[in-house]
A and B are shown apart, each in its own frame.
Chain A
């Protein structure tokens, strides 16, 4: 199945629920005005690479390298399998 940027962002959210905790991650999403459902899945299907980049940038600014490192490999693999370009912060 081909992944989309929504899938990549959903993967980041799921992973960060484990690393940052649900409350911190929901705070990040609120700051970015990204709406998610109760399961933490992005409501919009139109996410882009710039949405993914904004999310990772804010994670980096607020929580540093560990927060980015924790999802970099999983997201990178999914992007590679679907030939999706990654933002610089995930390269």
Chain B
């Protein structure tokens, strides 16, 4: 085995330039695989981080049916979720860790001589926990604030900066929203952009009662945010919620739901869909270049078999069996492709951080992609080296010895 390996190595070294050019196809293909997969993985890690920033064990129940064709994305346009739904869900669903209705409006907010356009979220006191909001200072509003529709609010980092300046604690200050003065009770810690690219910190949270009565005049919710107790009860909680809402909304089995329940997993899948397409596309290009690289190896191996016909004849004459010759040429092809693969992996390792640095693409090289790339290159060697090796093994010794 060692002798075969040595012979193969010698044959490759003998034509070092040719061997390198042959490997180039594999190098390009494998580095494309590494970079492509790392881009996909990097983007996915980013999205997952953003999805995780939404909170744990999260379900969101939207008004309207998002899966119905034509009105997709129309959730919240004609809200269907009511106060009664909220009370029933809160009372009857087993396995809830928290639930919050959600209304949203947008308004000009002023403090002192500064003002800014902000998204205002009307939510319950559970919301900050459900969505994993941390407090930089101050504290959450209370259940009492909700019941009394008190004029209190929490400021996101971006909004606080816009109104009060960088790093200045807004707790205790007054902000005017549509000329209604609200007291800032909490300053939210930064979360960054969400999976769809918008700034989560540019917001004001307040009791939903306050938002509905004092600002928007809405009577229905656009969504419920639900935190379930543990991953095991996800399906059960989902089913309970669906059953209750259908009953409340008097939806018979033959009609479509007027709400939709989305889990974090689904949101992450949705956000990752475009990454998947990108990864697939790069994968396809990498695959094509690997096939081309494989054909290059096959081509050069065929040339090599022809050039070395006499050598094969000598080996056969001194007692090499067909399988010995097959193994030798196969080893050579696999060595070419595996060395090419290793160089490709190295190139990928070198390119991926450059891509992050200069193009701002998040990249993440996983061990599994390296193993995949390496296996693929070995398989290419076997597949594309087999035919030339078979040709060598089946040479007639007399003809081969006579070959000039």
Mutual binders A and B: no
* Residues of B near any A CB (own CB < 8 A): none
* Residues of A near any B CB (own CB < 8 A): none
